[in-house]
């Protein structure tokens, strides 16, 4: 079982704890991750907003790197997952665009062939590693914990492109959380957007959306939030400080990347998982699971 | 500059499904290239290898269409058409003619869009293949 | 953002509309199905942004596009308020790709010189660094403290070359000029 | 026989439909001097009376013996022009039609020159072919004065009664235990607010009592053979484990039966016994044992006593019916909205469908007409309807409007207001379609009751897990504002789906389906109850979604069409059949092997066609290794004439 790991650019630069915990967890689970040295940014929605073709060409470039290595791409960022999946589907289906884009790629010495698939790491855990195998690696029960699963938009939608889970009532992340014996709580508007992409466009609206999510999650009496997307993480972790400033509301809800939670259940040292880098202290959760 | 090559296509349609599909393409005003001449038969099972071979002396490609498998108005005529077209394709290969010049497609009465698409795709393909060397004139 | 509502005239006259606008959008990937919209409101009914501001109404933007209200739509800040969450696209009964359609409208707006500063800055950083966020000393220190290797620069030359071919680099220059005005 | 055919060519303008693209004068001119062509004319509408008269006059004046009509699809007007020939004393098979509307002007609108060139080619092909046409023998056979009606819903019932009253023998075959269909499940009908079973029940009884009608229920169609006037249909009656003729419908067995299971007919809210009828008014009133639930305690056998109606050894019974015509009336299935995840049907207990609501509000239903919600058995006071669920939705492939759900919701809203005047009722709709007679007045009346009609298609439904209440998220289009409405009970107004077994039935009957999956009529305007298979007709929602009124109208139309066909007593059969040249036949039997109609027999080591059985596909002709079989009207020579001419210029 091996995959070409596609980190994107936010995780390695701003959320190294996500990378560290993911590498640690996958190593224990025996999944080989091959780094794509020449990868660039996936060219996400802000770029696609300005010029579709540039975004598509950059995505195609990155896909061609995995094609050369002849392994499927595994993403760990919702943004990368959606952009690369969409580009892959578009280019596989649209011959005219493929020809166009390949003319551009030829200038940088590459070609898109359409020979690999893009998968998200949750799919790898759920479908390839399998819950049974993950369970075998779990040494510590998190059964005292109430966790709010936070999917984010771009693993779920558009489902016709991503084909990840039920887009209105998803369960994969809930299932993966419950492998640790923690309780995955239900809360209102679970699949709703965190507002991350509005940062810099309208910080006011971005903060309002984050606040709505925090409000609904805190109503469910969750001890913490588990995210899969680095943008959602920023919105909810650092974003809580912004919410406090703008709305004078304090939630103090620790936020975890999923591999951090899984790492705790697998008995990995919290220091190694990088929990100290979070802006909202995770101490309350660590105490609860002691 | 030389004029673009306009391939000649003869299509055999069955009365019940594919001819009706062509009618629906018309009623829905779906546009397709005018390179095709349709010959209506009652059933694709009526298509005799002789028709195909004679057609290939005069056209660049031949299209045989019928009801989807299981939907044949005459129960099983399309199954026989399928066998025959396969045989003729083999024969074409043996004499060195591109087998792509002969095509079999199932088109139902509700697939007007498919009829138009199949004609367009086949005309495009024939343009790439160029003139049929066996064709007179 | 100061002015987010799309300001349109009190009375719309056909002579002042640009019917080609809709067609222009349908030529753009993602915009192909614009004409299929039957204005049912499934998009706006579930839009998380529309719920918290009066300035973003996806159904009405589509309606304006269909009617040919071009300049007002393209110069508005409203079209940049879509959070690209794809909820509308998931639920549209006519399979209009609404979120992608907003991107198509933004592409056209960008060509006309309208784009938010934040996006232009991100694009510029991408062209220069091959990544959007920059690598700082703090980044590297935090990485090494977690046992991760230092991050090497991304192949910015590739991105720069692609951006030059597609005209993206020039587009960003133009947008930066527009912003100065 | 005349040595040289004398051909008349008539090019139709079809108003602007053809002439707007194809240069019709040019086409006529192009063939005017071809060998055999005596006259070539273009005319505004050849199918019109004056157009037909023109052809008749020319046949007389010029002794024409071949007619080539260059117009629309032969699937539309071939019968019309064949009649013109017959009325002029010519054999109808001496007509040739060229379709330059569906195949030229409508599909090459942007290339008028090329369309005209193509039209010329097609006409030349037809002229060459017409020279080789031969008159075919017109044969008539007797028709059976009996009819099979598939489906015992309100459409099948109406058609059955009409035909029986006209004196035809009717076999009414129903898949379920009882006839009645969906209408029997409904509480009230719109716009008259009649009690549904009260108006349908008497009709069901009439069907059961009518000496000319035989109901075969709990049965499937296995096979259909033959042709118009003489169909052979094999029916399989599935075992009830109760002998129909002996069961008196007294219900004593049901009283002693200890087993109950969810009654599907009552949307699984109510229960029925392992031996029972689905509802009290069931017709035929014959009980059935559901063997999946039966314990075989034999209490029912005891209760039945000397009547000895119960037979645990019953096997499926196959019978063959001979009928002259068939009406297909198998109706629809309500759309099951599981796929529309945003509405949470199947996940949220208090989200139900309009059909389920009919049973909930019905006095004979599982709650005895008390409107309650399932989660806590409480009476709801805020009720919402979501419209267009499973209709006009590209995502699920239902692009059509189901035509009944708007009025159904308006009616149900009014029923709620009549029972619970204080209730808040919302209808969330895309646009209300109230087009039928009396519908708009009914809608107005419902608004008077204070029902809140919100224009806007619901985007999402969320359940409050504590209360079971539901919040509907919708844009009020008139205000341009997102609105959130909390309700206690939510009704999804589901549309119609083609029944699941329609696909296999369409194959058995050899009737194609339309792109929506319903059965395809012969012509959407002119022949809405006919199919392309002679002798088979359509009624009700299996052709397209319909309300009760429209279903009955179509059923009556289908009955009239059947009567028109069968009352003639005789009918023309296919003249285009295979003919074996006895001199060439080597008796190999290949044709017999491949013929789907068993129309080929070998006599004295030579093959022969049985004309009444031949379907006219011509597969034998192209299979025969000796080229001994001629398919009439589609002979090798005739077809090759077209092939040779196709591009000959």
* Residue among D75, D514, D594 whose CB faces B80 most closely: D594
- Please answer yes or no on whether A12 and C151 come within 8 Å at the CB atom: yes
* Residue among A166, A186, A189 whose CB faces D341 most closely: A166
* Residue among D394, D395, D473 whose CB faces C45 most closely: D473
Pair D327, D346 in one domain: no
pLDDT the model gives residue C1: 42
- Please answer yes or no on whether A189 and D462 come within 8 Å at the CB atom: yes
- Six-digit token pair at D54? 């023109």
pLDDT surpassing 50 at residue B91: yes
pLDDT digits (tens, 9 = 90+) for D335-375: 999 999 999 999 999 999 999 999 999 998 989 999 999 88
* Residue among A168, A186, A188 whose CB faces D342 most closely: A168
Containing structural domain, residue C173 = 117-180
Q: Chains A, D: CB contacts under 8 A, how many?
A: 13
**Mean residue pLDDT across chain D:** 95
CATH of B9-129, one of 3.40.710.10, 3.40.50.720, 3.40.50.960, 3.40.50.1010: 3.40.50.960
Pair C106, C124 in one domain: no
Residues of B in contact with D643 (CB under 8 A): 10, 39, 51, 54-55, 58
The answer to whether D631 faces chain B, any CB pair under 8 Å, is yes
| Chain centroid, CA A163 distance in Å | 16
Distance CA B69, CA B88 (A): 20
Region C13-38: what's the mean pLDDT? 94
pLDDT the model gives residue B1: 45
pLDDT digits (tens, 9 = 90+) for A240-252: 999 999 999 999 9
Region A32-56: what's the mean pLDDT? 96
Is the whole-model pTM more than 0.90? no
pLDDT the model gives residue C179: 86
Question: What percentage of chain D reaches a pLDDT higher than 70?
Answer: 99
Region C80-104: what's the mean pLDDT? 97
Fold of the A131-288 domain = Rossmann fold (3.40.50)
* Residue among C36, C38, C46 whose CB faces D459 most closely: C46
- Beta bridge partner(s), residue B61: B9
pLDDT the model gives residue B137: 64
Region D523-537: what's the mean pLDDT? 90
Regarding chains B and A, contact by 3 or more CB pairs under 8 A is answered as: no
Region A6-22: what's the mean pLDDT? 95
Considering C96, C111, C126, which residue would you say is the last residue of a domain? Answer: C111
pLDDT surpassing 50 at residue A41: yes
Pair C85, C122 in one domain: no
Pair C61, C142 in one domain: no
The Cα angle at residue D124 between residues D121 and D130, in degrees rounded to 5: 140
Distance CA A289, CA A287 (A): 6
pLDDT digits (tens, 9 = 90+) for D19-76: 999 999 999 999 999 999 999 999 999 999 999 999 999 999 999 999 999 999 999 9
The answer to whether the CB of A229 falls within 8 A of the CB of A75 is no
- Please answer yes or no on whether C104 and A52 come within 8 Å at the CB atom: yes
- Please answer yes or no on whether D341 and A186 come within 8 Å at the CB atom: no
Question: What percentage of chain A reaches a pLDDT higher than 90?
Answer: 99
- Please answer yes or no on whether C90 and A157 come within 8 Å at the CB atom: yes
Nearest to C163 by CA among D219, D260, A43: A43
pLDDT surpassing 80 at residue B2: no
Q: Which residues of D touch C (CB under 8 A)?
A: 342, 388, 392-395, 430, 455-460, 473-477, 480, 482-483
- Please answer yes or no on whether A193 and C172 come within 8 Å at the CB atom: no
* Chain B residue closest in CA terms to D110: B31
Q: Name the band, by pLDDT with cuts 50, 70 and 90, for residue D3.
A: low
The answer to whether D460 faces chain A, any CB pair under 8 Å, is yes
Query: In chain C, how many domains are there?
Result: 2
Pair C121, C81 in one domain: no
pLDDT the model gives residue D62: 96
For chain A, residues classed under CATH 3.40.50.11810 are: 131-288
pLDDT surpassing 90 at residue D484: yes
Determine which of D515, D622, D631, D641 to mutate to test the interface with B (most B C-beta atoms within 10 Å): D622
The answer to whether D108 faces chain B, any CB pair under 8 Å, is yes
Task: Decide if D640 is inside a domain.
Answer: no
DSSP one-letter code for B3? P
Considering D120, D136, D152, which residue would you say is the last residue of a domain? Answer: D136
Task: Decide if D583 is inside a domain.
Answer: yes
* Residue among C123, C133, C156 whose CB faces A50 most closely: C123
Q: Which CATH number is D71's domain given?
A: 3.40.50
- Please answer yes or no on whether B70 and D111 come within 8 Å at the CB atom: no
Task: Decide if C26 is inside a domain.
Answer: yes
Chains that touch C (3 or more CB pairs under 8 A): A, D
* Chain D residue closest in CA terms to C46: D459
How many angstroms separate the CA of residue C47 from the nearest CA in chain D?
8
The answer to whether A169 faces chain D, any CB pair under 8 Å, is yes
Phi, psi of D470 (to 5 degrees): -125, 140
Considering C84, C111, C138, which residue would you say is the last residue of a domain? Answer: C111
Q: Name the band, by pLDDT with cuts 50, 70 and 90, for residue D471.
A: very high
Angle between helices A238-247 and A203-219 (to 10 degrees): 100
Residues of C in contact with D335 (CB under 8 A): none
pLDDT surpassing 80 at residue D1: no
Q: Which CATH number is C98's domain given?
A: 1.10.1060.10
Distance CA D190, CA D197 (A): 13
pLDDT digits (tens, 9 = 90+) for B66-83: 999 878 888 889 999 999
Task: Decide if D648 is inside a domain.
Answer: no
- The verdict on domain A2-121 having CATH code 1.20.120.1200 is no
- Six-digit token pair at C119? 């996006």
Containing structural domain, residue D124 = 7-136
Determine which of C114, C166, C174 to mutate to test the interface with A (most A C-beta atoms within 10 Å): C166
pLDDT the model gives residue D566: 96
Pair C134, C107 in one domain: no
pLDDT surpassing 80 at residue C4: no
pLDDT the model gives residue D73: 96
The answer to whether the CB of D104 falls within 8 A of the CB of B26 is no
Query: Domain spans of chain B?
Result: 9-129
- Please answer yes or no on whether C94 and D474 come within 8 Å at the CB atom: no
pLDDT digits (tens, 9 = 90+) for D591-600: 999 998 888 9
Pair D358, D481 in one domain: yes
Q: Name the band, by pLDDT with cuts 50, 70 and 90, for residue D256.
A: very high
Pair D325, D226 in one domain: yes
pLDDT the model gives residue B135: 87
| Chain centroid, CA D379 distance in Å | 41
* Residue among B26, B39, B47 whose CB faces D622 most closely: B47
**How many of the other CB atoms lie within 10 Å of CB of D387?**
30
Length in residues, chain D: 649
How many angstroms separate the CA of residue D329 from the nearest CA in chain C?
30
- Please answer yes or no on whether A168 and D465 come within 8 Å at the CB atom: no
pLDDT surpassing 60 at residue C59: yes
Considering D81, D101, D136, which residue would you say is the last residue of a domain? Answer: D136
Nearest to A150 by CA among A193, A120, A199: A193
Nearest to C123 by CA among A8, A41, A47: A47
pLDDT surpassing 50 at residue A132: yes
pLDDT surpassing 70 at residue B101: yes
Q: Where are the beta strands (DSSP E) in D181-229?
A: 213-216, 219-227
pLDDT digits (tens, 9 = 90+) for D129-169: 999 999 999 988 899 999 999 999 999 999 999 999 999 99
- Please answer yes or no on whether D102 and B70 come within 8 Å at the CB atom: no
Region A23-30: what's the mean pLDDT? 96
pLDDT the model gives residue C2: 39
- Please answer yes or no on whether D473 and C46 come within 8 Å at the CB atom: yes
- Please answer yes or no on whether A193 and C162 come within 8 Å at the CB atom: no
pLDDT surpassing 80 at residue C48: yes
User: SS3 of D35, please?
Assistant: coil
Distance CA D618, CA D602 (A): 18
**To which residue do tokens 């090329």 refer?**
D114
* Residue among C41, C90, C94 whose CB faces D475 most closely: C41
Pair D567, D584 in one domain: no
Q: Name the band, by pLDDT with cuts 50, 70 and 90, for residue D390.
A: very high
The answer to whether the CB of D453 falls within 8 A of the CB of D429 is yes
DSSP string, B24-81: HHHHTT----TTEEEEEES-GGG--HHHHHHHTTT-SEEEEEEPPTT--TTSSHHHHH
For chain A, residues classed under CATH 1.20.1050.140 are: 2-121
Prior bond of D191 cis (ω within 30°): yes
**Mean residue pLDDT across chain B:** 93
pLDDT digits (tens, 9 = 90+) for A136-194: 999 999 999 999 999 999 999 999 999 999 999 999 999 999 999 999 999 999 999 99
Region A118-139: what's the mean pLDDT? 96
Q: Chains C, D: CB contacts under 8 A, how many?
A: 68
């Amino acid at each position: 079982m091996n995959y070409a790991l596609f980190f994107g650019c936010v995780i390695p630069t701003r959320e190294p704890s996500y990378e560290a915990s993911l590498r640690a967890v996958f190593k224990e689970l025996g999944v080989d991750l091959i780094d794509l040295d020449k990868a660039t940014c996936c060219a996400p929605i802000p770029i696609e907003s300005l010029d579709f073709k540039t975004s598509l060409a950059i995505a195609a470039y990155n896909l061609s790197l995995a094609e050369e290595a002849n392994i499927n791409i595994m993403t760990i960022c919702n943004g990368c997952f959606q952009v690369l999946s969409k580009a892959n589907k578009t280019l596989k289906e649209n011959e005219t665009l493929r020809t166009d884009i390949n003319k551009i790629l030829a200038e940088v010495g590459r070609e898109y062939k359409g020979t690999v698939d893009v998968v998200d790491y949750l799919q790898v855990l759920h479908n390839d590693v399998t819950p049974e195998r993950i369970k075998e690696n779990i040494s510590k029960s998190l059964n005292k914990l109430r966790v709010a699963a936070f999917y984010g938009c771009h693993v779920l939608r558009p489902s016709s492109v991503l084909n990840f889970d039920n887009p209105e009532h998803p369960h994969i992340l809930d299932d993966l959380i419950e492998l640790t014996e923690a309780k995955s709580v239900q809360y209102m508007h679970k699949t709703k957007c965190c507002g991350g992409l509005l940062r810099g466009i309208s910080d006011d609206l971005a903060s309002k959306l984050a606040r709505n999510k925090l409000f609904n999650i805190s109503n469910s009496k969750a001890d913490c939030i588990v995210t899969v997307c680095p943008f959602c993480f920023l919105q909810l972790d650092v974003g809580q400080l912004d919410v406090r400033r703008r709305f004078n509301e304090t939630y103090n809800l620790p936020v975890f990347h999923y591999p951090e939670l899984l790492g705790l259940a697998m008995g990995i040292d919290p220091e190694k998982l990088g929990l100290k880098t979070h802006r909202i202290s995770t101490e309350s959760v660590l105490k609860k699971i002691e | 500059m030389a004029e673009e090559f306009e391939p000649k296509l003869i299509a055999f349609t069955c009365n019940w499904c594919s001819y009706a599909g062509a009618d629906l393409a018309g009623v829905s005003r779906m546009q397709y290239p005018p390179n095709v001449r349709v010959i209506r038969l009652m059933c694709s099972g009526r298509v005799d290898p002789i028709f195909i071979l004679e057609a290939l002396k005069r056209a660049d490609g031949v299209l045989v269409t019928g009801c989807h498998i299981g939907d044949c108005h005459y129960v099983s005529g399309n199954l026989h058409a399928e066998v025959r077209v396969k045989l003729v394709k083999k024969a074409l290969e043996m004499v060195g003619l591109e087998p792509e010049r002969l095509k079999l497609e199932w088109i139902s009465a509700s697939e007007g869009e498919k009829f138009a698409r199949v004609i367009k795709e086949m005309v495009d393909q024939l343009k790439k293949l160029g003139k049929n060397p066996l064709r007179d004139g | 953002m100061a002015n987010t509502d799309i300001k349109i005239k009190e009375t719309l006259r056909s002579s002042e509309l640009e019917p080609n606008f809709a067609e222009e959008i349908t030529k753009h990937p993602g915009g192909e199905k614009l004409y299929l919209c039957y204005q049912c409101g499934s998009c706006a009914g579930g839009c998380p942004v529309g719920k918290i501001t009066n300035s973003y109404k996806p159904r009405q933007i589509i309606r304006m596009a269909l009617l040919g209200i071009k300049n007002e739509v393209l110069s508005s800040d409203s079209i940049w308020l879509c959070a690209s969450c794809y909820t509308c696209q998931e639920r549209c009964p006519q399979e209009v790709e609404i979120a992608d359609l907003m991107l198509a409208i933004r592409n056209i707006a960008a060509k006309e010189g309208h784009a938010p500063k934040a996006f232009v800055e991100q694009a510029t950083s991408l062209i220069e660094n091959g990544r959007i966020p920059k690598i700082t000393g703090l980044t590297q220190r935090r990485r090494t403290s977690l046992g991760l290797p230092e991050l090497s620069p991304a192949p910015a030359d590739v991105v720069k070359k692609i951006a030059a071919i597609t005209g993206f680099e020039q587009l960003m220059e133009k947008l930066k000029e527009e912003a100065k005005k | 026989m005349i040595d040289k055919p004398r051909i008349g060519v008539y090019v139709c303008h079809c108003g602007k439909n053809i002439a707007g693209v194809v240069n019709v004068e040019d086409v006529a001119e192009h063939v005017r001097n071809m060998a055999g062509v005596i006259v070539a004319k273009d005319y505004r509408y050849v199918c019109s009376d004056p157009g037909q008269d023109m052809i008749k006059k020319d046949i007389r004046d010029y002794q024409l013996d071949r007619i080539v009509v260059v117009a629309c699809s032969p699937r539309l007007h071939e019968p019309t022009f064949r009649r013109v020939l017959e009325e002029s004393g010519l054999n109808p098979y001496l007509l040739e039609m060229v379709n330059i509307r569906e195949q030229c002007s409508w599909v090459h609108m942007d290339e008028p020159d090329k369309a005209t060139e193509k039209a010329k080619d097609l006409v030349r092909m037809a002229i060459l072919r017409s020279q080789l046409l031969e008159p075919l023998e017109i044969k008539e056979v007797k028709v059976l004065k009996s009819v099979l009606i598939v489906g015992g819903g309100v459409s099948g019932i109406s058609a059955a009664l009409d035909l029986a009253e006209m004196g035809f023998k009717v076999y009414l075959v129903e898949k379920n235990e009882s006839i009645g269909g969906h209408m029997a499940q409904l509480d009230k009908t719109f716009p008259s607010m009649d009690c549904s079973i009260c108006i349908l029940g008497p009709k069901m009884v009439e069907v059961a009592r009518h000496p000319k009608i035989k109901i075969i229920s709990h049965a499937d169609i296995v096979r259909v053979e033959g042709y118009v006037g003489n169909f052979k249909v094999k029916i399989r009656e599935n075992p009830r484990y109760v002998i129909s003729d002996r069961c008196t419908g007294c219900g004593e067995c049901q009283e002693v039966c200890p087993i109950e299971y969810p009654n599907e007919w009552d949307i699984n809210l109510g229960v029925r016994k392992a031996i029972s009828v689905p509802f009290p008014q069931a017709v035929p009133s014959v009980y059935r044992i559901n063997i999946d639930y039966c314990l075989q305690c034999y209490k029912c056998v005891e209760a039945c006593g000397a009547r000895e109606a119960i037979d645990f050894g019953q096997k499926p019974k196959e019978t063959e019916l001979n009928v002259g015509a068939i009406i297909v009336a198998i109706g629809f299935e309500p759309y099951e909205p599981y796929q529309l995840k945003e509405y949470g049907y199947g996940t949220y207990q208090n989200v139900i469908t309009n059909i389920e609501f009919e049973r909930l509000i019905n006095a004979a239903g599982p709650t005895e007409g008390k409107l309650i919600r399932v989660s806590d058995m409480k009476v709801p006071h805020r009720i919402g309807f979501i419209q267009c669920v499973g209709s006009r939705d590209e995502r699920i492939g239902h692009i059509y409007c189901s035509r009944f759900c708007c009025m159904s919701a308006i009616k149900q809203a009014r029923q709620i207001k009549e029972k619970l005047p204080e209730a808040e009722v919302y209808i969330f709709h895309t646009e209300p379609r109230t087009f039928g007679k009396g519908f708009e007045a009914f809608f107005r009346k419902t608004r008077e009751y204070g029902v809140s009609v919100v224009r806007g298609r619901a985007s999402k439904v969320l359940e409050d897990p504590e209360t079971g209440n539901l919040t509907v998220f919708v844009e009020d289009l008139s205000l341009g504002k997102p609105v959130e409405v909390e309700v206690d009970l939510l009704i999804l107004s589901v549309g119609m789906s083609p029944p699941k077994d329609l696909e296999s039935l369409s194959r058995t009957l050899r009737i194609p389906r339309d792109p929506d999956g319903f059965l395809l009529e012969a012509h959407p305007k002119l022949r809405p109850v006919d199919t392309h298979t002679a002798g088979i007709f359509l009624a009700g929602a299996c052709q397209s979604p319909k309300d009760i009124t429209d279903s009955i109208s179509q059923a009556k139309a289908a009955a009239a069409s059947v009567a028109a066909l069968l009352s003639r007593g005789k009918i023309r059969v296919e003249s285009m059949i295979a003919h074996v040249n006895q001199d060439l036949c080597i008796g190999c039997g290949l044709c017999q092997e491949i013929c789907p109609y068993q129309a080929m027999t070998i006599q004295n080591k030579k093959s022969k066609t049985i004309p009444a059985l031949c379907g006219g596909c011509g597969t034998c002709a192209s299979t025969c290794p000796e080229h001994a079989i001629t398919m009439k009207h589609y002979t090798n020579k005739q077809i090759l004439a077209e092939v040779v001419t196709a591009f000959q210029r």
